[in-house]
């Protein structure tokens, strides 16, 4: 069960955990070999990485004003990507450090956070969920979490964050060698940001049965910027596929897709896929 805490409870919780800050080789492997190769081995652990999306393949990123406000109500961040990276961070630490999720929009369903058909709950058990009221509160909570040696990764709703806010997070992540992941809607792709890397994610149509789309949804991942590592043309875009049974997000290959396709039936072809990524909090804020 997920318990949502206040910022004050976050501070008290982290102050009560006595953990020395561990050394690091500087990068966190994403678990996607082709992506790691393109960015020099993995994500910089002491850095802010922004994930922009999820956008539909035909979504217009130029919306503004009232259109932005209306879309913000239905904006769905790429939480499967964030859960995958949070697992990578957790397993890379010998102390199983905490992951702090800041902003209700960032809260995944508990069922998405467990592996091996629900038997491995380590990420869920080592997660703290904070629900500030506004962007200022989200930045404050992220600030507190990034300063704690008990925290391995901070995931924050970066919607409406200014350049100054992203610079603050980038500097804190670098100083305390902590992975910072921020999600932003597609219409903020043009906003200035001090993030070490920026990525764009969009839905990818699955040309198979509705059952396939529900249990193995796919996304197109595109690298927009990685400081010190200019994207190479032809090596800056990938397809990711979620395996709901294993609780894993993998690089998609056409060969694997073709093999599975021959085994699928069409009996669920007319069923609307039901894929859920975000939960409501299970308790009230303290």
The pLDDT tens digits for 181-210 are 999 999 999 999 999 999 999 988 766 555
| Number of independent structural domains in the chain | 1
Q: Which residue has the higher pLDDT, 215 or 169?
A: 169
Least confident of 3-12, 44-53, 105-114: 3-12
Distance CA 201, CA 189 (A): 11
Category of 83 on φ-ψ map: left (φ > 0), alpha (ψ -120 to 50) or beta: alpha
DSSP state of 115: B
- The rounded percent of the chain whose pLDDT value lies above 70 is 73
pLDDT at 231: 65
How does pLDDT run across 38-71, given as a tens digit for each residue? 999 999 999 999 999 987 655 544 455 445 554 5
pLDDT digits (tens, 9 = 90+) for 268-278: 333 333 333 34
- What pLDDT was estimated at residue 255? 41
Residue 133 has pLDDT above 90, yes or no: yes
78 within a domain of the structure (yes/no): yes
Residue 25's pLDDT is what? 59
What average pLDDT does range 97-108 have in this prediction?
95
Cα 77 from Cα 205, distance rounded (Å)? 17
Average pLDDT of the residues of the chain: 81
Give the CA diameter of the chain. Answer: 55
pLDDT at 232: 67
Query: Above 50 in pLDDT, residue 12?
Result: yes
Asked, for residue 239, whether it belongs to a domain, the answer is no
Instruction: Quote the pLDDT of residue 277.
Output: 39
What pLDDT sits at residue 264?
A: 45
Q: Is pLDDT at 158 greater than 90 in this prediction? A: yes
Closest CA to 223 of 191, 240, 189, 198: 198
Give a yes or no: residue 242 inside a domain: no
Asked whether residue 64 is domain-assigned, the answer is yes
Specify the pTM.
0.81
Three-state SS at 163: helix
pLDDT of residue 119: 87
Residue 246: per-residue pLDDT? 79
**Any residues with CB less than 8 A from the CB of 134 and at least 6 apart, and which?**
none
Where is average pLDDT lowest: 164-173, 212-221, 244-253?
212-221
83 vs 57, higher pLDDT = 83
For residue 238, pLDDT over 90 is answered with yes
How many Cα atoms are found within 13 Å in the side-chain-facing hemisphere of 139? 16
10 close to 145: Cβ distance less than 8 angstroms: yes
Exposed, middle or buried, 62 (CB in 10 Å: 0-12/13-18/19+)? exposed
pLDDT at 272: 37
Residue 191 lies in a domain: yes
The enclosing domain of 14 has a CATH number of: 3.40.50.300
Alpha carbon 159 to its chain centroid, in Å, reads 14
For residue 65, being part of any structural domain is answered with yes
Tell me which residue has tokens 């073709």. Answer: 258
**62-76, 81-95, 177-191, range with the lowest pLDDT:** 62-76
Residue 259 lies in a domain: no
Helices and strands, counts by H and E, the chain: 10, 12
Whether 275 maps to a domain, the answer reads: no
| Selected residue with higher pLDDT from 60 and 171 | 171
pLDDT of 100 higher than 50: yes
What pLDDT was estimated at residue 214? 59
Helix (H) or strand (E) holding 84: helix 79-92
More confident residue, 179 or 265: 179
What is residue 141's predicted lDDT score, i.e. its pLDDT? 97
Please name the residues in contact with 261: beta carbons below 8 A apart, sequence gap of 6 or more. Answer: 208, 212
Domain with 129, as residue range(s), is: 4-205
């Amino acid at each position: 069960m997920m318990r949502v805490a206040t910022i004050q409870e976050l501070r008290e919780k982290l102050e009560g955990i006595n953990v020395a800050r561990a050394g690091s080789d500087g990068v966190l492997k994403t678990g996607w070999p082709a992506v790691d190769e393109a960015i020099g081995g993995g994500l910089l652990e002491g850095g802010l990485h922004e994930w922009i999306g999820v956008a539909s393949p035909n979504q217009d990123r130029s919306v503004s004003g009232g259109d932005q406000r209306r879309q913000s109500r239905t904006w769905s961040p790429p939480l499967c990507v964030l859960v995958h990276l949070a697992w990578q961070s957790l397993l890379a630490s010998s102390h199983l450090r905490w992951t702090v999720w800041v902003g209700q929009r960032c809260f995944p369903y508990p069922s998405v956070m467990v592996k091996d058909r629900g038997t491995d709950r380590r990420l869920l058990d080592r997660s703290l969920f904070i629900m500030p009221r506004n962007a200022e509160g989200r930045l404050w909570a992220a600030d507190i979490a990034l300063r704690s040696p008990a925290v391995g990764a901070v995931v924050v709703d970066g919607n409406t964050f200014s350049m100054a806010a992203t610079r603050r997070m980038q500097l804190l992540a670098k100083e305390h060698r902590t992975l910072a992941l921020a999600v932003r809607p597609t219409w903020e792709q043009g906003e200035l940001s001090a993030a070490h890397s920026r990525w764009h994610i969009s839905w990818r149509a699955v040309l198979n049965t509705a059952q396939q789309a529900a249990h193995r949804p796919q996304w197109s991942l595109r690298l927009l910027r990685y400081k010190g590592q200019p994207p190479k043309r032809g090596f800056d875009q990938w397809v990711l596929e979620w395996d709901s049974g294993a609780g894993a997000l993998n690089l998609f290959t056409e060969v694997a897709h073709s093999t599975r396709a021959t085994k699928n039936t069409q009996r669920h072809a007319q069923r609307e896929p039901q894929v859920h990524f975000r939960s409501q909090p299970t308790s009230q804020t303290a």
